Amino acid sequence: MDMRVLISGASIAGPTLAYWLTQRGAQVTVVERAPALRGGGHGVDFRGAQMELLRRMDLLDAVRARETGMGEQRVVDAGGRVRVRMPSAFFSGEVEIGRGDLAQLLYDRTSDDVEYVFGDHVAAIDQDTNGVDVTFARGGARRFDLVVGADGLHSGVRAAAFGPEERFRTFLGYYQAGFTMPNELGLDHVGLMYNEPGRGVMVSSGRDPAVAGAGFVFSSEELSYDRHDRAALVEIVRRRYAGAGWEVPRLLRALDQAPDLYFDALAQIHLDRWSQGRVALLGDAAWAAGPGGSGTGLAMMGAYVLAAELDAAGDRGHAAAFARYEAAVRKAAAVGHRQAKGAGGFLAPPTEKAIRRRDRGYRLLSNRILLPLFNRITAGAANSLTLDAYPHESAAARTNA
Ligand SMILES: Cc1cc2nc3c(=O)[nH]c(=O)nc-3n(C[C@H](O)[C@H](O)[C@H](O)COP(=O)(O)OP(=O)(O)OC[C@H]3O[C@@H](n4cnc5c(N)ncnc54)[C@H](O)[C@@H]3O)c2cc1C
């Protein structure tokens, strides 16, 4: 593949695509808006066919070396008494790693072969039949053969090439905040969840006993705020959790100090097409589903398929490759959308009655007889996109063989 490709976004989808494109001969630049690689985030799990992707990237051992090793998840009441215990497979799949650790692994795997530009972003895109002229916010302009937006829910490439975010975003009625904090609760490979109507709190500690990951999910009307104003985000969470019981006051104090706060709406992105000419979208930028929608695994699988299709189509075949990539990944994205729709109500049920109903469901599912069925359903979702149709080697390697 003799192509110059610009990828916007250096989290999960972007570096995975960069890896597979450089493996297949392309020259890749990744531009990331943040000044450095962003750490933090929830644990992300892999199941079923997604495990094969980690093997093909020769990443499985490295992921296992950093896996969270999370054990059971417990629902607790205001006094800390355990109401329900759920086995780790519920949330942690076959292997689970922190999102930030995964991003770091992907960056380390690609940084020798890929040009990374931090602290900049695409300001304008102007394409013709032979290439794409990109103007960067810091002032430079460069020409590429293709541009891929892997820049998440609030994608700048999508805004530049497809239109404003509001046109494609569906708000699901909830917000989430996540951050790391000292493991003050002394958790040992265990996660705790506490609920009051419309608000949920999760805290867990896995691989690093000194550190815990905290998460808040709460129902809300759509709020207007500046995404980049940390103090405003903290204030939103503080207000929403005022007066909450259990260990919530302690978690709110930790929130003030958190080095890596992530705050966003639970929202989905729906687009009629994932490409416009020489510009394509990948991962959350194209099909964000929200928590529970297999977003990380599918972003990586989609990156693999996109690189394989571009490689198979040859240097002038990007339009066909984009169409085939979209046809291959759409069904799995739709499964993710369906799965994630209920996540807010599940993590933060609206009433006491709904909390109790959710807990009864948990108890049933963790029953030994039903657990295999639950595992089959989650693996089925992860298997809605497989790599069977995609050979491991590049088109060039197959021609030379
Ligand atoms: C720091 C962080 C923490 C997260 N924590 C959670 C969590 O707790 N719960 C959850 O459900 N999901 C979380 N996510 C989202 C989750 O990573 C994705 O849903 C999933 O992994 C798919 O990844 P993606 O690469 O498509 O998008 P993302 O992981 O969202 O990555 C997008 C990347 O693009 C960058 N970016 C954004 N705009 C621009 C721009 N205009 N130009 C260049 N770069 C840009 C972002 O800084 C980010 O690095 C988090 C994402 C990040 C970046």
Average of pLDDT values for 150-159? 98
Q: Output the pLDDT for position 173.
A: 97
Q: Output the pLDDT for position 314.
A: 83
- Give me ligand 1 centre to Cα 72, in Å: 27
In the three-class reduction of DSSP (H, G, I as helix; E, B as strand; rest coil), residue 256 is classed as helix
| 181-218 confidence digits (pLDDT tens) | 999 999 999 999 999 999 999 999 988 999 999 999 99
pLDDT over 90 (residue 223): yes
| 79-135 confidence digits (pLDDT tens) | 999 999 887 766 677 888 999 999 999 999 999 999 999 999 999 999 999 999 999
| 3-15 confidence digits (pLDDT tens) | 999 999 999 999 9
**Residues 12, 103 contacting (CB under 8 angstroms):** yes
Residue position matching structure tokens 């240097």: 315
Is the Cβ atom of 174 under 6 angstroms away from ligand 1?
Answer: no
Atom number of ligand 1 nearest to Cα 296: 21
Average pLDDT, the chain: 91
**Atom 19 (ligand 1) nearest CA:** 295
Q: Output the pLDDT for position 395.
A: 58
Nearest alpha carbon to residue 257 among 175, 176, 178, 181: 181
Q: Output the pLDDT for position 39.
A: 87
Average of pLDDT values for 242-253? 97
pLDDT over 70 (residue 252): yes
Q: Output the pLDDT for position 373.
A: 64
Q: In what order do the strands lie in the sheet with 199-205?
A: 82-86, 73-76, 190-196, 199-205, 211-219, 169-182, 262-269
Q: Cα-flanking dihedrals φ and ψ of residue 372, to 5°?
A: -60, -35
pLDDT over 60 (residue 399): no
Average of pLDDT values for 43-70? 91
Buried b (16+ CB within 10 A) or exposed e, 360-369: eebeebbeee
Using most ligand atoms within 8 A of CB, pick from 118, 151, 294 the residue to mutate for ligand 1: 151
Is the Cβ atom of 8 under 6 angstroms away from ligand 1?
Answer: yes
Is the Cβ atom of 178 under 6 angstroms away from ligand 1?
Answer: yes
- Give me ligand 1 centre to Cα 152, in Å: 5
Atom number of ligand 1 nearest to Cα 285: 26
Q: Output the pLDDT for position 1.
A: 82
Name the percent of the chain lying above pLDDT 90: 75
pLDDT over 60 (residue 154): yes
Q: Cα-flanking dihedrals φ and ψ of residue 122, to 5°?
A: -70, 130
211-219 vs 199-205, strand pairing mode: antiparallel
Q: Output the pLDDT for position 375.
A: 66
* Helices marked H in 198-351: 230-240, 248-257, 284-287, 295-313, 318-341, 343-347
Is the Cβ atom of 121 under 6 angstroms away from ligand 1?
Answer: yes
pLDDT over 60 (residue 398): no
Q: Output the pLDDT for position 47.
A: 85
Is the Cβ atom of 180 under 6 angstroms away from ligand 1?
Answer: no
Q: Could you tell me the pLDDT band of residue 397, with boundaries at 50, 70 and 90?
A: low
Structure tokens at 287: 């099909």
- Give me ligand 1 centre to Cα 151, in Å: 7
Question: Which region among 47-51, 225-229, 299-303 has the lowest average model confidence (pLDDT)?
Answer: 47-51
Using most ligand atoms within 8 A of CB, pick from 99, 203, 230 the residue to mutate for ligand 1: 99
Average of pLDDT values for 282-286? 98
Q: Could you tell me the pLDDT band of residue 326, with boundaries at 50, 70 and 90?
A: very high
Q: Cα-flanking dihedrals φ and ψ of residue 361, to 5°?
A: -60, -45
pLDDT over 90 (residue 388): no
- Give me ligand 1 centre to Cα 296, in Å: 9
Q: Could you tell me the pLDDT band of residue 145, with boundaries at 50, 70 and 90?
A: very high
More confident residue, 81 or 387: 81
- Give me ligand 1 centre to Cα 107, in Å: 14
